Amino acid sequence: MSGGEVTMRVITYAEAIREAMSQEMRRDEKVFLMGEDIGVYGGAFGVSQGMVREFGSARVRETPISETAFVGAAVGAAVIGMRPIAELMFSDFMSVCWDQIMNQAAKAHFMHGGAVQVPMVIRAASGGGTGAAAEHSQSLENLFCHIPGLKVVIPSTPFDAKGLLVSAIRDNNPVIFLEQKKLYKTTGIVPEKEYVIPLGMADVKRDGKDVSLITYGRMVQMCAEAADKLDAEGISCEIVDLRTLAPLDIGTILSSVKKTRRCVVVQEAPLFSGFGAEIAAQIADSEAFFYLDAPIKRVGGSDSPVPFSAPLEQAAFPTPARIEAQIRATL
């Protein structure tokens, strides 16, 4: 953090993201925001409220309802030296501009022999729990992690959201910045001054000795609820918040597993072929495997489209009770 007095406030996850963008736009005139309804309306989830009044419509740029067009424009702007932040209302809509992300943004630096950089951020609301149904509730982070050239970030707290977004905006590579919708109204202590959290560094949100819970996004809170309950019984859970999925902080994961000798991996996305399988494979293919006293367990969403019905939607995602059950199984 910068020197001098640091003002600490409690603000929301959405406010922390807005503050990161505003601070970076004041610091660097090359940074601008583009997307649907981000100006006067303030964004689908209110993240950009008030920004157009400060920065004007040239830097808080309303776009047509065409993710293909404006994400492609962001790639072009980044290649010529700007630092665009493209907001997609829902991460599901990345399927519309998948070619721009996968074949253009991710590959331009490599295919041009390093002659160009692509310093752009794609922000998108991700995940379920809000009754937005099957086409607006998916967790697609594993798709982006599979594409070399993309960095993938999923912050779980307001503090992390601000620091990680500043790092993402300053990065010279394309960054997919996923904001899980259920987190927008959550609150936390965030310094008013500028600070950065480096990409690729996990955070141990809770120290423990009996089992490692490896997770990210809103599942961090779910794991904390399960850990609180088990703590009363003398079961100590360590919670590792990945924060950045690509690049992945393997070292912190393995250190935690070697310490506790048990591991439960938790993701909101469907369990089958999800990012948690990669974590389990990384552990199994390392020296940490020989420290394990029990098989690695995984908790994830159901292998189905996300239902609109509130009870069915709740049943489709991990809960503290399901996480607790897998912790008990591994113990």
Angle, helices 219-231 vs 320-330, to 10°: value is 60
pLDDT digits (tens, 9 = 90+) for 250-279: 999 999 999 999 999 999 999 999 999 999
Model confidence at 4, pLDDT cuts 50, 70, 90, reads low
Predicted model pTM: 0.94
Task: Tally the C-alpha atoms within 13 A of residue 245's C-alpha that lie toward its C-beta.
Answer: 29
DSSP state, residue 39 = S
Give domain status of residue 1, yes or no. no
Q: What b/e readout covers 56-67, taking b as 16+ CB neighbours within 10 angstroms?
A: eeebbbbbeeeb
CATH number at 324 reads 3.40.50.920
Same domain, 215 and 156: no
pLDDT at 1: 46
Tell me: pLDDT of 187 over 70: yes
Backbone angles phi, psi at 164, to 5 degrees: -75, -35
Domain residues for the domain of 37 are 8-191
Q: Is 261 found in the same domain as 178? A: no
Give yes or no: 136 in active site: yes
Task: Count how many domains the chain has.
Answer: 2
Percent of the chain with pLDDT over 70: 98
pLDDT for residue 188 is more than 50: yes
Q: What is the mean pLDDT of residues 100-119?
A: 96
Same domain for 217 and 166, yes or no, is no
- 198 in a structural domain: no
Q: Report CA Rg, the chain.
A: 20
Q: What is the pLDDT of residue 7?
A: 79
Residues 306, 221: Cα–Cα separation, whole Å? 20
From 164, 191, 218, give the residue that closes a domain.
191
CA distance 84 to 25: 10
The last residue of one of the domains, among 135, 162, 191, is 191
Neighbours of 258 (CB within 10 A): 17
Spatial separation of the C-alpha atoms in residues 89 and 264, rounded to whole Å: 31
